[in-house]
Amino acid sequence: MYSVFKKIFGKIMRLARSFRAEQARPDDVWAHFYLQTLEFEFYLGIDPRDREHGLRVAKQLLEAHPEAREELIAAAILHDCGKSVRPYHVLERVLVGLIPYGKGAGSRFEPIRVRNQHPQIGAELLRKSGGRLEVARLIEAHHCPQDDEEAQVLHFFDDLE
Ligand SMILES: [Fe+2]
Ligand SMILES: [Fe+2]
C-alpha cells in the first residue's frame, strides 16, 4: 500500500515539475560526463523536463548500482528521448499518462502513438545521431525489458519516478 502511495506521490511531483520548461534544471555537466560527443549533442535537443527526468533516473540507478556500465547510465539519461519528436504539451502528457503503457497500441491519436512507440522512436533517433548501438538497444527495451537484466534495472528506476 505504501509503495502505491509513494508511486502516486511521485507522479504528482513529476507532473508539478512538468508545467514549465524554464523551471527545469537538468544537470548537463553531469550528463556530459557519461555521454559521447554526438550523444551529448543529441541530448541537448531533448526537452529540459525530459532531460531532468532522465538524470534523476540515472543518478538513482547509479547510487544503487555503482558498478553499472557507462552504456546503462547513458541509456538512463536518454531513455525518454523518443518523446521529443512531439512538442511537450503538459495536459496531453497527463491524459496520455493515465492510460496504461501499451494500451491503444493501434491508435492513430498522435500523443498515444508517440507514447507507445517512444522507446523505438528514441532508439532509432539515437542510432541516426551516431549514438552507441548498445545505448540505443537499452532505450528500446526500457518499457519491455523481458529477460535483459540491465533494461530491467532501467525500467525499475524509471518506474520509481
Ligand atoms: Fe519511457
Ligand atoms: Fe521515463
pLDDT of 2 higher than 70: no
Do 138 and 71 meet the contact criterion of CB atoms below 8 Å apart? yes
Q: 119 CA distance to ligand 1 centroid (A)?
A: 6
Q: Which ligand is nearest to the CA of 144?
A: 1
Dump pLDDT digits (tens) for 59-95: 999 999 999 999 999 999 999 999 988 887 888 888 8
pLDDT of 104 higher than 80: no
- pTM of the entire structure? 0.88
Dump pLDDT digits (tens) for 7-32: 677 767 777 777 777 788 999 999 99
Q: 108 CA distance to ligand 2 centroid (A)?
A: 22
Q: 118 CA distance to ligand 1 centroid (A)?
A: 7
Residue 123 CB partners (closer than 8 Å, separation 6+): 82, 136, 137, 139, 140
Q: 158 CA distance to ligand 1 centroid (A)?
A: 7
Q: 84 CA distance to ligand 2 centroid (A)?
A: 12
Cell numbers at residue 157, please? 528506476
- Number of Cβ atoms within 10 Å of the Cβ of 134: 15
Q: 127 CA distance to ligand 2 centroid (A)?
A: 19
Q: 1 CA distance to ligand 2 centroid (A)?
A: 23
- Domain spans in the chain, listed from the N-terminal domain onward: 2-160
Cell numbers at residue 126, please? 539515437
CA distance 80 to 155: 11
The pLDDT of residue 1 is 61
Q: 37 CA distance to ligand 2 centroid (A)?
A: 22
Dump pLDDT digits (tens) for 105-152: 778 888 888 888 999 999 999 999 999 999 999 999 999 999 999 999
CA distance 20 to 47: 11
